[in-house]
DNA sequence: AAGAGCCCCAACCGCCCCCCA
DNA sequence: TTGGGGGGCGGTTGGGGCTCT
């Protein structure tokens, strides 16, 4: 039986008071971040060590950038999430001054909904909706305004595209456009067979390589499975750009 | 004005990983 | 080699504030 991380008896839970914050700040400024388990007692706090750590990391640290996320940060979060999934700490590591908790909250409360409204599954960054059959309306813009309205891709109705995380760092100027971040669809003109291969592939331009390298670096650190690369992808297959 | 419902975010919980004895 | 302890992480919760009716 694992011992609890701290003595539950006598520990305070819930919101931190100004006095507690000040005690924690004073202690860490004096002694630095050290053993969180013993910190509360040493600092005169009736808190669990984990609670102190969280409070410091997510709120009290002097280098924390507070306030709204700007568009560049949001873009980066989406791109990194496509690569790394829910590895919030890794994503936070690429956003100076932002914490994993903050990014996680922002994702769940803002970005998730945005992607869903654009017909993109926030879990895998793939499109939700069925694409029109080519012999009916090959160039009809699919509409999707909520998760409830999405349709699933049927095997007999496979779109012929690949999802590609186009990880360019260029911050183009069309940010005001509603279609920013939205998936762009290229249907195959050669074949009307629809293909469910939604592999994420990585174009070999330099900026992409740089971002991918970051992901690789973290992945290697954390032993995470490699994302599918172009080796899995038929080069003749049209590309669905996930990010423009 | 007030109550209901919704949303945001700080904080908690429990699991996992890594380090060290 | 293994087991325990500490730290870190991601999922979840709940309280408070805001908006709508």
CA of A118 to C1' of C21 (A): 29
Q: Does A195 lie in the same domain as A132? A: yes
Angle (nearest 5°) at CA A118 between A116 and A124: 55
Tell me, yes or no, whether A43 and A142 share the same domain.
no
pLDDT in tens, A29-38: 888 887 888 8
A4 touches strand C (CB under 7 A): no
A97 and A203 fall within a common domain: yes
Domain range for A142: 71-241
Report whether A227 contacts A81 (CB < 8 A): no
A2 and A122, same domain (yes or no): no
Provide the CA A105 to C1' B6 distance, Å, integer.
16
Cβ contacts, strand B, under 7 angstroms: A 5, 12-16, 47-48, 50-51, 54-55, 58-59, 101-102, 104-106, 108-110, 222-223
Closest nucleotide to A11 by C1' from CA = B12
Percentage of chain A lying above the pLDDT 90 cut:
4
Whether residues A137 and A55 share a domain: the answer is no
d(CA A12, CA A119): 44
Residues A58 and A76 in one domain: no
Choose one of A44, A62, A80: the last residue of a domain: A62
How many beta carbons lie within 10 A of that of residue A239, not counting itself?
Answer: 16
List, for residues A204-240, the tens digit of each pLDDT value. 333 333 444 444 444 444 444 333 333 333 333 333 3
Both A154 and A236 in a single domain? yes
Choosing from A62, A84, A101, the residue where a domain stops is A62
Q: Is the CB of A122 under 7 A from strand C?
A: no
| A26-73 pLDDT tens trace | 999 888 887 888 888 888 888 988 899 889 988 998 888 888 888 888
Whether A105 and A168 map to the same domain: the answer is yes
């Amino acid at each position: 039986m694992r011992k609890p991380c701290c003595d539950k008896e006598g520990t305070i839970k819930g919101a931190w008071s100004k006095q507690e914050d000040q005690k924690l700040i004073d202690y860490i400024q004096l002694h630095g971040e050290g053993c969180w388990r013993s910190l509360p007692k040493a600092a005169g706090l009736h808190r669990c060590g984990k609670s102190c750590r969280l409070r410091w990391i997510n709120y009290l640290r002097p280098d924390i950038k507070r306030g709204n996320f700007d568009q560049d940060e949001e873009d980066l979060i989406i791109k990194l999430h496509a690569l790394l999934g829910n590895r919030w700490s890794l994503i936070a590591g690429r956003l100076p001054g932002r914490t994993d908790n903050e990014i996680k909250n922002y994702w769940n409360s803002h970005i998730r909904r945005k992607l869903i409204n654009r017909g993109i599954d926030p879990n895998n960054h793939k499109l939700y909706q069925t694409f029109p059959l080519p012999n009916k309306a090959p160039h009809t813009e699919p509409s999707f305004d909520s998760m409830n309205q999405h349709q699933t891709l049927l095997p007999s109705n496979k779109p012929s595209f690949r999802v590609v995380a186009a990880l360019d760092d260029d911050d183009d100027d069309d940010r005001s456009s509603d279609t920013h971040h939205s998936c762009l669809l290229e249907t195959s003109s050669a074949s009307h067979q629809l293909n469910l291969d939604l592999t994420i592939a990585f174009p070999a331009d330099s900026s992409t390589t740089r971002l991918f390298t970051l992901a690789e670096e973290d992945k290697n650190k954390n032993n995470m499975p490699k994302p599918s690369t172009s080796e899995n992808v038929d080069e003749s297959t049209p590309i669905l750009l996930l990010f423009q």
